[in-house]
Structures are given as structure tokens and as C-alpha cells.
Chain A
Amino acid sequence: MNHDEISDLLGAYALDAVDPDEHAAVDTHLRECARCRAEVQDHRETAALLTPSSGDAPEHLWQRIAGSLEASPPGPRLAPVEGGTLERPRRVARAMVAALAAAAVIVAVLGVQVREQDQRIDQLQSALQDPLGPAFQAALTDPRSQVFELASDDGQLTLRGVIAADGTGYLAAAALPRLSRDRTYQLWGATGDQLISLGVLGPHPDIVTFPADPYTAFAVTEEDRAGVVASTNAPVVVGSTT
């Protein structure tokens, strides 16, 4: 199907009113075409208005939902991320340990900058466009928070992060160069000699949150779309909180 044929289907697609083969064809097209994605989203927002918002949610149904959650094991995860998959802790690749060790040096050099909290508020204006912006800003201005910076090898690219008193980490990642859709950034936390995937960030992350405890060093790598269990790529940016 060409673009026009796909376009004709978008209304029906948004209402789940297409056959499975058409659904698959539209799905494929949407991965490539931002304009059609936006149109589908528009149709879905419109369709959502056809459902009354005033109806009460049945209480017994909430009891049933809540009851079914008790079996779910809480663990660290990243949210919200695009297509994020959470990896179990793995042994760190040696190349990454070396990279993080090197990073500690860079961070030491940049350390003075990192501790100058006051100067960085105005640099966060772009970050405030994000729905997470206010939470990020609140964490940043809380004296109990720990502020850190991730930097590239050449020091040209720096990302600011903060770990709130409750252990939630925020990273303003908008400065990362936009990747193609088949690539993704992935966030890692280091503790001892272990490097643990904290989440797949997508090709163009803005502000992300992650469970920061107990990590003291972080790195971002570029990977294939689904992310990897253990990275062998050199980090795009690295840094630590100490």
C-alpha cells in the first residue's frame, strides 16, 4: 500500500475497524511516518471524547484490580520510557568498567562545576517543557538532593541529573543527539564492579526518571532499538555522584 492508501485507512485504523492485514500494513507505515502517527493520535483523542467522562468507576472493580497486583514483585524500573524493557542485573563488561574509571577522572575535573547548583537552574528551561520538568526542578532545588553531571569524553556534551531524597533519579537527556528510530539510548548504573541497565531511553529522550539507589556512577550508551543486556559500546556520557 502506498502513502495515500494508508492515509485513507487511518480513521478506521484508529477505531480498530480494519482487518488484521491492513492493521499490520498501517503499523509498519506508522513507524516511518510522523504525520500519519499524529493523525492517528488526533483521531484517538477525538474518539475518546465520545465516551462520557462522568461515569463512576465501580469500587468493587478497583478492589479486584488491587487484589490482582499483590502478586507483582516490586523492583526498580524506569518510567516513563519508550518501549522500555527492564533488564536483570548482569556482570559488567570490562570495557565499561574501564570507561567508568576514566569517567571518574573527568568528573573530578568537572567537579567544581557540578557543585555549582545555583547556576544551572536557567539551563533547565528547555527541560521544563517536559511534564516531568516540575518534578525535576523540585528535586533540583531541594537541598537534600544530590546533583550530578554526565559528560562525554571530550567534555563537549554534558547532561544534568539529580537524585531526590527519596532515591528517585532524574536525568535531563534532551541534549543527546537525536538517533534514528532503530537506535536507542540506554542508561546504566554502576555499583561496585556491576553495571546494571536502568532502562532503555528511546532515540530522543527528554527528562527520564530512574531508581537511583544504590548506584553512584551512571553511563549512557547508544544501542540497537531494543537495548542490550550488557553493553560493549563506549559510553556517550558518564559521570558519578561522588
Chain B
Amino acid sequence: MREDDLTQASDAQLVVAIGRWRQDALAEAYRRHGGAVFALACRVLTDRLLAEEVAQDVFVRLWHEPGRFDPQRGSLRSFLLAHAHNRAVDIVRSEEARRGRERRQHQERVRVSAGEDVEGDVWDLTVAEHVRDALGLLPPGERQAIEMAYFGGKTYRQVAASLGEPEGTVKSRIRSGLRRLRDNLADLVWEDSREP
């Protein structure tokens, strides 16, 4: 693959080029997915500096271990976001973040009881319209459980505790909510996650 072809390359081809230590291929992967990785880390951590560390970790790991990505199993985007989410959640749950987490949990309880989520509203504006619509179609309990777990970095037990719901209910709502979302977005998931 020639240098100037990288912008036309599929994600899978980019990862192959990264496997050959081509830094321009990593740069292209960052150009495509770095914004989403950073945004998700920011949303979970509510701290830009920590989010930068997470994003750096994600792309440096892709550089050193491109073989961890298997194009047969899913998209590069979901692979990178899953890694970013996992790292961000680790940080959220670590002892060092305990203080900030307690503060955020408190703020979130306030927001939840007030029935609005200012940060989420801003976020929602930048999420694709059809995804927003699909989210809006979810039963409120499912949507809330997914958002608190995914963006709040909480375990389903923590979500259950802060909502005063049974743990099993929250666990089920996360799974059924994700399935419902997927079904609503089925065609879209295919278009967005698969390479042409």
C-alpha cells in the first residue's frame, strides 16, 4: 500500500500497516477514531487530562499489539472504544479517584432526582440523530441503567443501589436495553461497524 492510499484503506488494512510499524497508519487510525476515544474517556472520567492519558494508552497499545484486533470479530472503532472504556472505568474505580467519584455520584443523584442530565444533554446533541431517536424509544428504566453504567462507570450493583432498584432488575435492563437498541438500529449497526 502506498503512502497516499492510507486515507482510502479499510480499518483492517490500516491495522496491517500498523503491524509493519507504519506510524502514518497509526496517525490515520487516530484521525478516524481518536475523537471518539477521547470523547468517551472524557465522558466517563469528566477529566480531560485523565482522558488524554487513556486515549494515549489506547493508541500506544494498538501500536505495540495490533494483533489484538481481530477484524473478524468486530469493528476497529468498537475495539478501541471498549479498550478506552475499560481503562477509564479502571481509573474511575481506583482508590485515587474515590474522592472525585463520590462527588460525581452525589451530583448524579441530584441530577437523576431532578430528572435532567445537563452534561448528557450536551452529549446527546453530538450523537447521531437516529441513535438519539433509538435511545429515546427505550423504556426509561433501560436507558437510565445503560447510561449510568456506561457513562457513569458504575457496576450494575452500584446503579441498583443508587436507584434503589433490585440488582437483578438493573442487570436485566442493561441487557434487554442493549438488545432493543441493537434491534432498532440493526441496519445502522451494520453500516457503521463493518468495513465496506
Measured CB to CB, the residues of A under 8 A from B are: 8-12, 14-19, 37, 41-58, 61-62, 64-66, 68-69, 72, 74-75, 77-84, 131-132, 134-135, 168, 199, 206, 209, 211
Interface centre among A43, A51, A78, A80 (most CB of B within 10 A): A51
Give the total of B residues in contact with A, Cβ under 8 Å: 81
B150-162 vs A, CB cutoff 8 Å, 1 = contact: the mask equals: 1101111101000
Shortest distance in angstroms between A69's beta carbon and chain B's nearest beta carbon? 6
Give the A-B pair count, Cβ closer than 8 A: 202
The answer to whether the Cβ of B50 comes within 8 Å of any Cβ in the partner chain is no
Partner of A61 from the list B40, B52, B64, B123 (CB cut-off 8 Å) is B52
- Asked if residues B16 and A132 are in contact (CB atoms below 8 Å), the reply is yes
Whole-angstrom distance between the Cβ of A212 and the nearest chain B Cβ: 11
- Write out the residue numbers on chain A whose beta carbons fall within 8 Å of the beta carbon of B195: 131
Pairwise interchain contact A46-B67, C-beta atoms closer than 8 A: no
- Note all chain B residues with C-beta closer than 8 A to A17: 149-150, 154-156, 159, 174
Can you offer 28 A-B residue contacts whose CB atoms are under 8 A? A14-B82, A16-B153, A17-B150, A17-B155, A17-B174, A18-B156, A45-B74, A48-B75, A49-B128, A49-B189, A50-B135, A50-B146, A51-B39, A53-B128, A54-B35, A55-B39, A55-B126, A57-B38, A58-B34, A58-B38, A64-B52, A65-B59, A65-B60, A68-B56, A72-B63, A132-B12, A135-B16, A199-B67
A44 CA to B181 CA, complexed, in Å: 12
Complex Cα distance A65/B63, Å? 10
Please, how many angstroms separate the alpha-carbon atoms of A8 and B176 in the complex?
Answer: 9
